[in-house]
Amino acid sequence: MEPGLRPLQIIALNNQGASGSVAHLKEPHTAHNTLASSQDALKAYTKEATEILKPLTSGKHPPPRYKPTPSWLPPPVFDPFPLLANTAADPPPIPEYNVPRPEMHKEYGLDRAPPLFIGFTRQWPMLLQAVVSYITAGWPPENIYVVENTGVHNMNKQGRLTLQNPFYLNHTTLHRLGVTVIQTPVLLTFAQMQNFFLSIAYQEDHPYYFYSHQDVLVFSFEEGLDFISRPADGNWEFYSEAEKKEILSPVQAGKDGYRTIYENCLRDLQTVIKRKERWGFRWYQYDHLTLVNREAMEAVGGWDSLIPYYATDCDMNGKMGMDGWTMKPRRVGIINDVSTVLEDLEVLYRNKYKMPKFIDPAPLPPEKEAKIAKAKAEKEEKERKEKEEKEGKAKREEHGLPADQLQYFRALRAVGDEMGKYKYRDGAEQRNNWQRAQRGGEGEPFYYNADGFHSAFWTLTDAGRRIYEEKWGHRGCDLVSGTSLTLKDQWRVEKDWEKKKEDKKN
Of 36-50, 299-313, 415-429, give the range with the top mean pLDDT: 299-313
Are 16 and 93 in a shared domain? no
Average pLDDT, the chain: 87
Neighbours of 315 (CB within 10 A): 23
The pLDDT of residue 242 is above 90: yes
Are 298 and 191 in a shared domain? yes
Per-residue pLDDT at 72 = 83
pTM of the model: 0.85
Are 194 and 322 in a shared domain? yes
Are 176 and 258 in a shared domain? yes
Per-residue pLDDT at 16 = 46
Does 192 reside within a domain?
yes
Which one is predicted more confidently, 365 or 323? 323
Are 230 and 111 in a shared domain? yes
Neighbours of 364 (CB within 10 A): 18
Least confident piece of the model among 193-202, 245-254, 335-344, 378-387: 378-387
- The domain spanning residue 299 has which CATH number? 3.90.550
Does 408 reside within a domain?
no
Rounded mean pLDDT, 7-24: 44
Per-residue pLDDT at 179 = 98
Domain final position from 321, 342, 363: 342
Are 40 and 138 in a shared domain? no
Handedness of CA 456, 461, 467, 469 (dihedral sign): negative
Domain final position from 305, 320, 342: 342
Does 19 reside within a domain?
yes
Backbone angles phi, psi at 266, to 5 degrees: -60, -40
Rounded mean pLDDT, 44-64: 69
The pLDDT of residue 166 is above 80: yes
| 3-class DSSP state of 256 | coil
| Residue numbers of the domain that contains 485 | 450-505
**pLDDT band for position 52 (cuts 50, 70, 90):** low
Per-residue pLDDT at 73 = 85
Are 179 and 298 in a shared domain? yes
Are 48 and 123 in a shared domain? no
Per-residue pLDDT at 23 = 42
The span from the CA of 220 to the CA of 434, in Å, is 25
Does 390 reside within a domain?
no
CB 198 within 8 A of CB 290: no
pLDDT tens digits for range 360-404? 998 888 888 788 777 777 777 766 666 565 554 433 334 455 668
Per-residue pLDDT at 383 = 66
Are 147 and 49 in a shared domain? no
| 3-class DSSP state of 146 | strand
Per-residue pLDDT at 433 = 83
Question: To the nearest 5 percent, what fractions of the chain are helix, strand and coil?
Answer: 45, 10, 50
As a whole-number percent, the residues of the chain with pLDDT over 70 amount to: 83
Does 122 reside within a domain?
yes
The pLDDT of residue 313 is above 80: yes
Count of domains observed in the chain: 3
The pLDDT of residue 13 is above 70: no
Per-residue pLDDT at 386 = 61
339 Cβ neighbours under 8 A, 6+ residues apart: 215, 360, 362, 419, 422, 423, 430, 431, 432, 433, 434
The span from the CA of 301 to the CA of 283, in Å, is 20
Does 363 reside within a domain?
no
Torsion region of 20: left, alpha or beta (phi above 0 gives left; psi -120 to 50 gives alpha): left
pLDDT tens digits for range 248-268? 999 999 999 999 999 999 999
Domain final position from 342, 359, 380: 342
Are 151 and 287 in a shared domain? yes
Does 262 reside within a domain?
yes
Are 124 and 14 in a shared domain? no
The pLDDT of residue 2 is above 90: no
Beta-strand relationship, 341-342 and 358-359: antiparallel
Does 30 reside within a domain?
yes
Are 110 and 256 in a shared domain? yes
User: Cα–Cα distances in Å, from 462 out to 309, 310, 436, 457?
Assistant: 9, 8, 19, 9
**pLDDT band for position 15 (cuts 50, 70, 90):** very low
Beta bridge partners of 293: 208
